[in-house]
Amino acid sequence: MTTSPVPPAASPSPSSTPTPGVPDRAPRVAVLAGGLSHERDVSLRSGRRVAEALRSSGVEVSVHDVDADLIAALTELRPDLVWPVLHGSSGEDGSVRDVVQLLGLPLLGTGPRASRVAWSKSIAKTLVSRAGLVTPEFVTLPQSLFRELGPARVLSAIVERLGLPVVVKPSRGGSALGVSVVQSPDDLARAMVECFAYGDSALIERAVSGVEVAVSVVDLGDGAVALPPIEIVTDGPYDYDARYNPGRVEYFAPARLSDATRAEVERVALVAHRSLGLTRLSRSDLIVDTEGVVHFLEVNVSPGMTETSLFPQAAEAAGHNLGALYRSLVEASLAAAPVGLEPVPAP
């Protein structure tokens, strides 16, 4: 598998040989940002940053919220490509992507079906483990089950089976919203309540100590390759505040890993990207434990693109100009993406 960083995308320049699917003018891209998920503010910031970078590379960009005016706007505009820079439900669960394809417009990034698989942390963890990756032992429990069986008995079974500490998180969600690290049995009930504020199903996994890294993957048309891993060091939990407000986190780009470990985290991210059927870009969150074992935690089909986000940091660490890289992603998508609904595979 290819694990070397992508060579920096060249600055856009006129080409005498047109690429099929790519217009012979500046591409017109509709960036979708906002929506009504808990991650609306992050999505708006990501969308603005993507739009600025694309404009700097000569792309014609319009930014659209996900609201009652979206379908009319896309129908009238008929952009060459739609880039969903959406985080959280609807943005990453495939539903907005389904609507875009219903309108007959091509997408940048993963299609709706694979997005649904990646959006469910428990399904994604199950599939990557079948592909040979290591992931912390976990259970996924709906809120209704606690009411039916009694919370005390369920919580006791969790501690007895998984031990402590454990990480509690919404089984579908992002930006560390509703995530808690539980060290004591007395704190588990509170963590479950906080988790269920962001979703009706909780994933509880055995906590792993080690180096936290994020590995982004891009595909500019010649196959998926890994960007340099980013190491994350915090003064506490890597929660929503730490992720999006500068000062609480120190990033190392590239991560302070041995050559062998760096190659392994890149391999894991690529296996996750390919085994889940992801397209064009993704970011995998991993932990390297004290024995050097790489544990897959989750994957993002719509990585954050804010000034503190990990995907842009990885791209810049690889020597990319963001505008040129994003334009290359646009052009690769235009050259490859079919227009219309994803076909249902034959049995």
- Name the H helices within the chain: 40-56, 70-77, 95-102, 112-119, 121-130, 143-149, 151-162, 188-196, 240-244, 259-275, 310-317, 322-336
Q: Kindly report, residue by residue over 199-237, the tens digit of the pLDDT.
A: 899 999 999 999 999 999 999 999 999 999 999 998 766
Q: Sign of the C-alpha dihedral, residues 136, 318, 82, 105?
A: negative
Spatial contact of 12 and 327, defined as CB atoms under 8 Å apart: yes
300 included as an active-site residue: yes
304 included as an active-site residue: yes
Q: Which of 40, 280, 283, 327 is labelled catalytic?
A: 283
Q: Which of 231, 298, 302, 321 is labelled catalytic?
A: 298
Is the model's pLDDT at 19 over the cut of 70?
A: no
Q: Which of 116, 244, 262, 323 is labelled catalytic?
A: 244
Q: Which of 39, 93, 205, 212 is labelled catalytic?
A: 39
Spatial contact of 263 and 5, defined as CB atoms under 8 Å apart: no
What is the percent of the chain with per-residue pLDDT over 90, rounded to a whole number? 75
CA distance 78 to 81: 8
Q: Which of 122, 300, 321, 333 is labelled catalytic?
A: 300
Please list the residues that pair with 118 across neighbouring strands: none
39 included as an active-site residue: yes
Mean pLDDT in residue range 79-86: 97
113 included as an active-site residue: no
Mean pLDDT in residue range 12-37: 76
Q: If you count them, how many residues does the chain have?
A: 347
DSSP string, 244-282: HSTTSEEEESS-S--HHHHHHHHHHHHHHHHHTT--SEE
283-286 own/partner pairs: CB under 8 Å, 24+ apart? 283/214, 283/215, 283/216, 283/217, 283/310, 283/311, 283/314, 284/214, 284/215, 284/217, 285/212, 285/213, 285/214, 286/212, 286/213, 286/214, 286/215, 286/229
CA distance 62 to 272: 32
Tell the residue number behind the tokens 């990557």, with chain if given: 128
Q: Which of 34, 35, 304, 323 is labelled catalytic?
A: 304
Cβ neighbours around 245 below 10 Å, total: 10
175 included as an active-site residue: yes
Nearest to 46 by CA among 91, 74, 87, 93: 87
237 CB-contact burial (10 Å; exposed 0-12 / middle 13-18 / buried 19+) = middle
The predicted structure's pLDDT at residue 122:
95
What one-character DSSP code corresponds to residue 19? P
Spatial contact of 196 and 239, defined as CB atoms under 8 Å apart: no
Q: Kindly report, residue by residue over 143-202, the tens digit of the pLDDT.
A: 999 889 999 999 999 999 999 999 999 988 765 778 899 999 999 999 999 999 988 999
40 included as an active-site residue: no
Q: What is the largest CA-CA distance in the chain?
A: 69
**Average pLDDT score, the chain:** 89
Burial track 51-81 (b if 16+ CB lie within 10 A, e otherwise): bebbeebebebebbbbeeebeeebeeeebbb
CA distance 278 to 110: 5
The pTM for the full model equals 0.89
